[in-house]
């Protein structure tokens, strides 16, 4: 297809497509004449993925380039490609390896992951995220030990193992898997947070014996 058709098929404007081509995010089309190139389905898929990384993942162009390089690297297993995407969408955190409190929190995070029997790379930045949140809990005087965090770990792993992993198309093109992972992690994370707050209200209403009719709107 021509660049105009690629634009129509992907919903990405032609100047943006040209920008991605210049930045090397989108591979060049097949040159069929001096001013003419042919694009295929792989270009449509790649554009979908770039949009998801940009609009849902809110990644920088530099981070997108890193994720796409992993997608294109035939030597990387699917597990490592997905891992690259996961690490790219994780929030940046300030680790303080020299700080004593930080080391304690990080050791607590590592111990918890070990106790759970989870297989997580020792260099995963997610471990630092967990350490930072343990520090926050500590600072607020809230329980931050493995016992306090275990219910969250169990809820998470059940959800992932029984449901989420099946929503990622692992047998198709890598672009599709990475797109599903990024969008799923972010948008379903938002869903889970909303459900949790809705569930809080419902459980509280039951606990305090709120009459459902009292909840039936302003006219009741």
Task: Considering only residues 6 through 25, tell me which ones interact with a copy of itself, judged by CB under 8 A.
Answer: none
Residues in binding contact with a copy of itself, number by CB under 8 A: 74
202 is a contact residue toward a copy of itself (CB under 8 A): yes
What minimum distance in Å lies between the beta carbon of 98 and a copy of itself?
20
Site for a copy of itself in 182-201 (CB under 8 A): 183-185, 187-201
For a copy of itself, the closer of residues 18 and 196 by Cβ is: 196
d(CA 171, CA 7) in angstroms, rounded, equals 27
What minimum distance in Å lies between the beta carbon of 93 and a copy of itself?
10
Site for a copy of itself in 119-138 (CB under 8 A): 119-124, 126-127, 129-130, 133, 136-137
Site for a copy of itself in 61-90 (CB under 8 A): 77-79, 82-83, 86, 90
In the set 14, 103, 163, 172, which binds a copy of itself (CB under 8 A)?
Answer: 163
For a copy of itself, the closer of residues 10 and 29 by Cβ is: 10
For a copy of itself, the closer of residues 43 and 48 by Cβ is: 48
d(CA 15, CA 54) in angstroms, rounded, equals 16
């Amino acid at each position: 297809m021509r660049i105009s058709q690629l634009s129509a098929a992907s919903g990405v404007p032609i100047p943006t497509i040209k920008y991605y081509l210049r930045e090397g995010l989108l591979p060049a089309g097949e040159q069929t004449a001096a001013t003419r190139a042919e694009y295929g389905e792989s270009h449509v898929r790649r554009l979908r993925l770039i949009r998801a990384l940009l609009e849902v993942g809110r990644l920088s162009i530099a981070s997108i380039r890193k994720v796409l390089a992993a997608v294109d690297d035939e030597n990387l297993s699917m597990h490592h490609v997905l891992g690259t995407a996961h690490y790219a969408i994780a929030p940046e955190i300030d680790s303080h390896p020299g700080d004593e409190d930080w080391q304690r929190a990080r050791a607590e995070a590592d111990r918890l992951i070990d106790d759970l029997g989870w297989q997580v790379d020792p260099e995963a930045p997610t471990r630092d995220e967990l350490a930072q949140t343990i520090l926050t809990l500590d600072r607020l005087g809230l329980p931050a030990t493995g016992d306090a965090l275990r219910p969250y770990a169990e809820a998470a792993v059940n959800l992932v193992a029984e449901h989420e992993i099946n929503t990622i198309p692992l047998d198709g093109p890598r672009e599709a898997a990475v797109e599903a992972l990024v969008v799923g992690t972010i948008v379903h994370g938002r869903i889970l947070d909303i459900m949790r707050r809705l569930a809080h209200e419902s459980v509280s209403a039951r606990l305090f014996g709120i009459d459902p009719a009292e909840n039936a709107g302003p006219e009741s």
